[in-house]
Chain A
Amino acid sequence: MSTHRLFSPARIGAIAGNTLLELVRQKVFYFLSIFALALIGCSFFMGFLQPELQFQVMKDVSLGAMSVFTWLLAVLATAMLLPKDIEDRTLYTILAKPVPRLEYLLGKLLGVLVMLAISLAVMALLFAATLYIKEQVTLAAAFAEARPSTPDQAAEIARSVKALTFTWSLVPGIIAIYCKAAIFAALTLLISTFASSWIFTIVISVAAYLIGHLVPIARAYLLESGGSWASKGFLTLITLLFPDLQLFNLTDDIVAGNAAPLALFLQTAGMGCFYLAVYACLAYLLFAKKEL
């Protein structure tokens, strides 16, 4: 009597855990040390700016770096997973066990998503810690300069400095960064199901990143100009196939002091989940028919 389950979260968990272990032992987290160095360097070399400007530049640079690093990690870590398993024939030994191809792909994707979540969380913690240290230094300098005579004055100085540092309004921006990286992990996995080499996969993923940032321009052109049916068809295809990556850039407004509205944040997160699911489904459809 067969005890086989058609869909097993335990098997997916085993593959995801193994993928995470692979990435950890291949030392992808060393990437984070570059981020830490950039952060420390940034906070050291801004002494000549006004304190308000110092915090703003730090947030801008750090959140920008978090976005680029998480995206790079997503593409580089995912591009190798499937081709390497095929090349080393490790995939044969896994699929020769009672493991459906869907579970294999989901496990790989889940492993990368967990790795990205850990990386982004570590970067966010480093970012918050750097801002906290900067806040303490700025507070000490502000107290030394203003010499507040009453507790109210001291509280006012503290409040004004704290408003410049890490606030919870940054969290939706960081989650949007994660959503963007997660979409690219799924897209890279999709490309790797048919790509002939991992270099091709990376090149196409980078091209998709650039196209994703041009989607708003394509959409505006589509809505405003007439154009031929061919160009309209092409632009419609582009705007449907690729997410509008500008939507995931919530951090610019947040750093400028405008908290992201909940509706906008939910729309962005929903868009992220939608594209993640679409790319994962397409990856499965291609991988299910792939001759190994």
Chain B
Amino acid sequence: MPDPAISIRNLTKIYPIPFRRERLTAVDGLTLSVEPGQVYGLLGPNGSGKSTTMKILLGLVPATRGQTQIFGRDSSLVESREEVGYLPENPYFYKYLTGEETLLFYGKLCGLRGAALRERTRELLHLVGLEGAADRRLGGYSKGMLQRIGLAQALVQEPRLLVLDEPTAGVDPAGSRDIRDLILQCKARGITVLLCSHLLGQVQEICDRVGILHKGKLVREGELESLISIENQTQLIFENAPPELLARFEAEAAACGARLVEKSKPHATLERFFLEVTR
């Protein structure tokens, strides 16, 4: 059986508060596992411990207690990061570098060189749709372009795990949809994704499994479908159904003891409407 992409066991992180006796427990006994190929949404209000968990997983912050592993390797070891790509919340990157130089720099950090690195850079610029802006400095990039180059740098060494902290924060709906599509492409390639986001609609669209953190504790966790579906209700959507047919359905349902909970016309999402009018 393959190792889980992420394995977190009994993780606790306590921060001392300077000049006070109190301590802040950011993560409290967290245990979770993400299987290879899954898109896992880590949700929770601000200060719930999501970012701290990600930082511990990436070796940026040491854990007070517990273990974290990436594909079976202790995640505090530098070599475990060969398998990981990370996009932090609101990253700035180096403004003086062009998009291409940025990818070349991060590629070199991952041990890529020469023709292979140049080829990988071209491939990624194409993937994130920034071929036309490859020679522009990042100082002139829009927020959406920065997130896309950020995603490209996270993918530079072809990692098996992608850790994304609020990847669409501050991005307009079109840019947000582009990033969502890129995450889905990664999923299609078999890359495991740990996603931290406040945009629950987007999480619902792309995640297979979610965990909800609250005050450092994992309060709910499971397959998205099983968490949010209402087992004793069924939804039918008709097109061009005459009123008589609907009346017959209602009568039949009532005769069988079923209760009609809601009768309404489905709406297009505001996001889809916005994208249609701004296309």
List residues of A whose CB falls within 8 A of some B CB: 2-6, 8, 10-11, 14-15, 18, 21-22, 25-26, 88-90, 92-100, 291-292
State how many angstroms separate the Cβ of B17 from the closest Cβ of chain A.
13
State how many angstroms separate the Cβ of A141 from the closest Cβ of chain B.
48
CA distance A92 to B109 in the complex (A): 13
**Would B96 and A99 count as touching, CB distance under 8 A?**
no
**Would B59 and A98 count as touching, CB distance under 8 A?**
no
Contacts of B96 in A (CB 8 A): 21-22, 25-26
Contacts of B55 in A (CB 8 A): 92, 292
Indicate whether B90 reaches chain A with its CB closer than 8 angstroms. yes
Q: Which of B87, B96, B109, B150 has the most CB of A within 10 A?
A: B109
Tell me which of A2, A90, A92 contacts B79 (CB under 8 A).
A2
- How many A-B pairs have beta carbons closer than 8 Å: the answer is 93
Contacts of A26 in B (CB 8 A): 96
- A99's closest neighbor in chain B, by CB? B109
State how many angstroms separate the Cβ of A263 from the closest Cβ of chain B.
42
**Would B91 and A97 count as touching, CB distance under 8 A?**
no
Total residues of chain B contacting the partner, CB 8 A: 35
List residues of B whose CB falls within 8 A of some A CB: 55, 58-62, 78-79, 81-82, 84-94, 96-97, 105-106, 108-111, 113, 150, 153-154, 157, 163
State how many angstroms separate the Cβ of A202 from the closest Cβ of chain B.
22
Contacts of B105 in A (CB 8 A): 14, 18
State how many angstroms separate the Cβ of A97 from the closest Cβ of chain B.
4
Contacts of A2 in B (CB 8 A): 79, 82
State how many angstroms separate the Cβ of B113 from the closest Cβ of chain A.
8
**Would A89 and B90 count as touching, CB distance under 8 A?**
yes
**Would A95 and B59 count as touching, CB distance under 8 A?**
yes
Contacts of B87 in A (CB 8 A): 93
Tell me which of A11, A21, A22, A292 contacts B109 (CB under 8 A).
A11
- A291's closest neighbor in chain B, by CB? B61
**Would B81 and A97 count as touching, CB distance under 8 A?**
yes
**Would B92 and A88 count as touching, CB distance under 8 A?**
yes
CA distance A5 to B94 in the complex (A): 26
A-B contact pairs, 21 of them (CB 8 A): A4-B79, A10-B113, A11-B108, A11-B109, A14-B108, A18-B105, A22-B94, A89-B89, A89-B91, A89-B92, A90-B94, A92-B55, A92-B60, A93-B86, A93-B93, A93-B106, A93-B153, A93-B154, A98-B79, A98-B81, A99-B109
CA distance A282 to B55 in the complex (A): 24
Contacts of B153 in A (CB 8 A): 93
Contacts of A18 in B (CB 8 A): 94, 97, 105
State how many angstroms separate the Cβ of B7 from the closest Cβ of chain A.
18
Contacts of A25 in B (CB 8 A): 96
- B156's closest neighbor in chain A, by CB? A97
Contacts of A96 in B (CB 8 A): 58-60, 81, 84-86, 88, 163
Contacts of A99 in B (CB 8 A): 78, 81, 109
CA distance A11 to B110 in the complex (A): 8
**Would B91 and A98 count as touching, CB distance under 8 A?**
no
State how many angstroms separate the Cβ of B59 from the closest Cβ of chain A.
7
CA distance A5 to B79 in the complex (A): 8
- B137's closest neighbor in chain A, by CB? A25
- Contact A90-B157, Cβ < 8 Å, known A8-B111, A99-B109: no
CA distance A14 to B82 in the complex (A): 17
- B84's closest neighbor in chain A, by CB? A96
**Would B82 and A95 count as touching, CB distance under 8 A?**
no
- Contact A14-B92, Cβ < 8 Å, known A96-B86, A98-B78, A98-B81: no
State how many angstroms separate the Cβ of B102 from the closest Cβ of chain A.
10
State how many angstroms separate the Cβ of B72 from the closest Cβ of chain A.
12
- A101's closest neighbor in chain B, by CB? B78
Contacts of B59 in A (CB 8 A): 95-96
**Would B91 and A88 count as touching, CB distance under 8 A?**
yes
CA distance A11 to B88 in the complex (A): 21
Contacts of A5 in B (CB 8 A): 111
**Would B78 and A90 count as touching, CB distance under 8 A?**
no
**Would B91 and A92 count as touching, CB distance under 8 A?**
yes
State how many angstroms separate the Cβ of A258 from the closest Cβ of chain B.
45
**Would B109 and A94 count as touching, CB distance under 8 A?**
yes
Contacts of B150 in A (CB 8 A): 93
Tell me which of A10, A22, A292 contacts B61 (CB under 8 A).
A292
State how many angstroms separate the Cβ of B224 from the closest Cβ of chain A.
26
CA distance A21 to B108 in the complex (A): 15
**Would A90 and B91 count as touching, CB distance under 8 A?**
yes
Contacts of A21 in B (CB 8 A): 96-97
